[in-house]
Amino acid sequence: MATAARRRFCRCACFCSQNLYVARYGLHLRFRDEQQLRRDYGPLLRSRGCVSSKDFQQLLEELEQEVGRRRRLGQESAARKALIASTYHPARPDVYCSLQDAVLAPEFVAAAEYSASPGAGLEGLLQQLEIVSEEKRIYRVPVFLAEFCQALLEELEHFEQSDMPKGRPNTMNNYGVLMHELGLDEPLVTPLRERFLQPLLALLYPECGGGQLDSHRAFVVKYALGQDLELGCHYDNAELTLNVALGKAFTGGALYFGGLFQAPAALMEPLEVDHVVGQGILHRGGQLHGARPLGTGERWNLVIWLRASAVRNRLCPMCCQKPELVDDEGFGDGFTREESAVVDVCALT
């Protein structure tokens, strides 16, 4: 017998107490109890319209419900994924096939191949990308062919219209799909990260763990009239982010960017970036950003939060402290810890 180290993915305990988003007040809040909430946010909440006792009681109830939802999230997500895998019938089985170069934009494949080649450098890679902002280090690159975007959208709409259970993409978006629950992590997102994004991001963002990406959280967000229309200022719980426009026809909804870990209140002249179907925007997770209101139509985007445990194990990007690790399902929130496992050496020989 021998002892071997095994990695387990975790989340930080702050997930259940920090960055709780309250849309109508446009705030991310820390929450432990009523006394702490009044002490830390009383004047700010009143300035945003939380004035009466009824307003505050409603806020308390919402925060308590959100904390409960987050604590149950891993188990409930795993249960939804199992039910979907056993009973859902896809409209487009082809999108569940292992990722093939044929569905990717040739420019994206070429950029990834160059990045993985001997002697590749940042200057050479930048010649193959659109530099949206040199200062903010935001880049654009074609990712998927239009035909694949259409096929993926058909499958996503079919799932949306089914009676399958659906989890929220994140705490700020109410409409969309979690890719791992639908079964698209393994065939689509993981090979996209490992084969294409990692070599490319190793050159673009080495200090952010671009060459050490070992997990992700991928989801599709949907914006439509009568549903989610816009997205407030926020940071991503990720070292790096890829945001790919899938369609459909729409106006408005542009992304806007501020500074790295800039306070939302200080955002004065943001950089606006329009969506182009099939193309992806690459940026650091800590880059302050949001989305302008949708004008007409529907907008669907694939968002991949790319994570490097070698970076986030040192400092949680959400609470800015050394993470307090809590066991979680799947990739968790991208933190890892080593666990000892007993291996029968004789059985392996």
Mean pLDDT of 129-153: 97
Q: Quick one: pLDDT at residue 321?
A: 93
Gyration radius (Cα) of the chain, Å: 21
* Range name among 174-183, 264-273, 284-293, 315-324 with the lowest pLDDT average: 264-273
Q: How confident is the model at residue 232 (pLDDT cuts 50, 70, 90)?
A: confident
Q: Which of 273, 209, 217 is nearest to 74 (CA)?
A: 217
**pLDDT reported for residue 181:** 96
Distance, CA of 66 to CA of 20 (rounded, Å): 7
Question: In terms of DSSP H, where are the helices of 48-145?
Answer: 53-87, 106-115, 122-126
Q: Give, to the nearest 10 degrees, the angle between helix 53-87 and helix 34-47.
A: 110
Average pLDDT for residues 220-243, to the nearest whole number? 94
pLDDT at 176: 92
Measuring CA to CA, how many Å separate 320 from each of 23, 185, 309?
Answer: 23, 28, 15
For residue 247, is pLDDT > 70? yes
Residue-wise over 20-35: b if at least 16 C-beta within 10 A, else e?
A: bbbeebebbbebeeee
Mean pLDDT of the region 115-127? 96
Q: Cα separations (Å) of 228 from 96, 264, 270, 300? A: 27, 20, 21, 11
Give the pLDDT confidence of 142-157 residue by residue, as tens digits.
999 999 999 999 999 9
Report whether pLDDT(173) > 90: no
